[in-house]
């Protein structure tokens, strides 16, 4: 650790982490402003409003002594940035998380929460509720890790920035992109406290250090057939039938890419997330158009929109025998963003170095470096030139129903982050 990092300070930072305090704050924050702040990736569905949780978090930061500013690209969607100035002579560090969550559409299926996804409910080591892993519980963990540092009374050399963003679930246009590109807010290092654990049911600890992120995009494939009457389907070409033949090949297809030292748990692949075919009032006719919406995920650095579309065109051409522009069209879904995979932050550079040292002290072993499958604000901060990584206790399985987070992993992560912060920023005697 930092040569000026005193053993008694280290003990104090760990002792300041209170499990009960985190559980209480998590339960409170899961409910705040919901479901208004749910924010679907679907570009054709309006974004949420994160104002209620933003004001709550801003108050928490102000009570800890941060100078807080709110930056809005849209009304009722304030990004919250708190600054705690250091004494000078150290680097700057950002602690990041986001204020929106993805929706909980089938609320009746959330049996772990009595049918209310925003009622955080504990069962043993696990707390269930929308926003536990992604990411209200992680947000609570970040606040309490920072609070541990402040309560210790340590004098930090570098500036500590807490940046809590809106619009992360829609790839950050009004959040991390706005903050970095429009407001010019950057730091030397960044830790996004989002889920990096993998596999709730596995025997291993599963709390990794994500040094890179995979990219993703949304693609539309429109297949064209020939409309016919249902009494004579042999005279037409059913576009839905065409889609049924194309989908298995899309599920199996491999995308061209350069192998990475840190591949994601999910390789570059496509999955069908929507299918639309047939018109109301025309059930007596077979459809002559069918649109597939694809999510292309697990993308690695070097993969481009052009290369992805080219790969999909090859598959559809082979299956249908058709010609692009005549028999089918493939393009990016309007309103969606293309997100590139990022290059890894070297494991021996900050903030990885201090996180590794703290991890060793708390858990007695080294964290496993990996590439996070999903988008988070880390990608936008990397694009802004920041050494940005992701480390947090939530589960990277992103359960659609009964989302949950481990209490013991959360407590360990808070301790690790609390130890890492002063080591990265440097301390004064």
Render pLDDT for 351-383 as a digit per residue (tens, 0 to 9).
999 999 999 999 999 999 999 989 999 999 999
The reported pLDDT for the residue numbered 329 is 98
> 147-184 b/e with 16+ CB inside 10 Å = b?
bbbbebebebbbbbbbbbbbbbbbbbbbbbbbbbeeee
Q: State pLDDT tens for residues 296-312.
A: 999 999 999 999 999 99
User: Distance between CA 27 and CA 117 in Å, rounded?
Assistant: 11
- The mean pLDDT value for 306-332 works out to 97
- What separation in angstroms does the CA of 278 have from each of 2, 224, 281? 65, 12, 9
Percentage, residues of the chain above pLDDT 90: 92
Q: Give CA–CA dist 233/268, Å, rounded.
A: 37
User: Mean pLDDT, to the nearest integer, of 381-398?
Assistant: 93
State the Cα–Cα distance between residues 322 and 12, nearest whole angstrom: 68
Give how far Cα 300 sits from Cα of 5, 41, 67, 255, 345, Å.
38, 20, 38, 10, 14
- Looking up tokens 């065409």, which residue turns up? 242
Complete domains list, the chain, with CATH: 7-213+341-425 (3.40.630.10), 215-332 (3.30.70.360)
**Looking at residue 2, what is its pLDDT?**
45
Q: Which of 194-208, 235-249, 398-412 is the least confident region?
A: 194-208
Condensed to tens digits (0 to 9), the pLDDT of residues 65-74 reads 999 999 999 9
Cis peptide before 35 (omega within 30 of 0): yes
Task: Please write the tens of the pLDDT for every residue from 145-179.
Answer: 999 999 999 999 999 999 999 999 999 999 999 99
pLDDT at 202: 54
What is this structure's pTM?
Answer: 0.94
Please report the pLDDT score of residue 205 as a whole number. Answer: 66
**1 pLDDT tier (thresholds 50, 70, 90):** very low
């Amino acid at each position: 650790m930092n040569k000026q990092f005193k053993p008694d300070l280290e003990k104090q930072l760990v002792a300041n982490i209170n499990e009960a305090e985190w559980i209480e704050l998590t339960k409170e924050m899961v409910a705040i402003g919901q479901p208004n702040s749910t924010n679907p990736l679907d570009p054709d569905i309006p974004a949420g409003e994160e104002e209620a949780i933003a004001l709550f978090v801003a108050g928490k930061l102000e009570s800890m002594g941060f100078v807080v500013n709110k930056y809005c690209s849209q009304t009722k969607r304030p990004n919250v940035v708190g600054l705690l100035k250091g004494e000078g002579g150290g680097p700057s560090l950002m602690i990041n998380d986001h204020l929106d969550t993805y929706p909980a559409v089938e609320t009746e299926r959330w049996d772990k929460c009595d049918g209310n996804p925003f009622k955080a409910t504990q069962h043993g080591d696990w707390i269930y509720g929308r926003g536990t892993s992604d990411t209200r519980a992680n947000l609570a963990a970040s606040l309490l890790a920072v609070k541990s540092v402040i309560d210790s009374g340590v004098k930090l050399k570098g500036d500590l920035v807490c940046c809590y963003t809106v619009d992360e679930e829609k790839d950050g246009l009004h959040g991390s992109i706005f903050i970095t590109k429009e407001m010019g807010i950057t730091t030397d290092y960044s830790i996004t406290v989002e889920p990096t654990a993998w596999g709730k049911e596995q025997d291993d600890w599963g709390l990794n250090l994500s040094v890179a992120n995979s990219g993703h995009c949304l693609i539309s494939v429109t297949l064209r057939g020939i409309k016919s009457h249902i009494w004579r389907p042999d005279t037409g070409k059913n576009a839905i039938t065409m889609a049924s033949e194309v989908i298995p090949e899309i599920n199996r297809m491999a995308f061209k890419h350069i192998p990475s030292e840190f591949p994601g748990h999910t390789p570059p692949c496509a999955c069908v997330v929507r299918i639309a075919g047939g018109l109301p009032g025309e059930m007596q006719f077979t459809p002559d158009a069918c649109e597939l919406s694809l999510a292309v995920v697990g993308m690695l650095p070097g993969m481009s929109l052009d290369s992805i579309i080219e790969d999909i065109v090859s598959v559809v051409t082979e299956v249908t025998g058709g010609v692009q522009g005549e028999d089918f069209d493939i393009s990016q879904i309007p309103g969606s963003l293309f997100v590139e995979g990022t290059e890894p932050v070297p494991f021996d550079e900050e903030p990885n170095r201090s996180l590794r040292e703290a991890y060793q002290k708390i858990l007695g072993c080294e964290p496993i470096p990996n590439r996070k499958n999903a988008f988070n604000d880390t990608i936008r901060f990397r694009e802004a030139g920041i050494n940005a990584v992701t480390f947090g206790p939530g589960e990277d399985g992103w359960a659609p129903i009964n989302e949950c987070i481990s209490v013991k992993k959360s407590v360990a992560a808070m301790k690790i982050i609390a130890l890492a912060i002063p080591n990265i920023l440097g301390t004064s005697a």
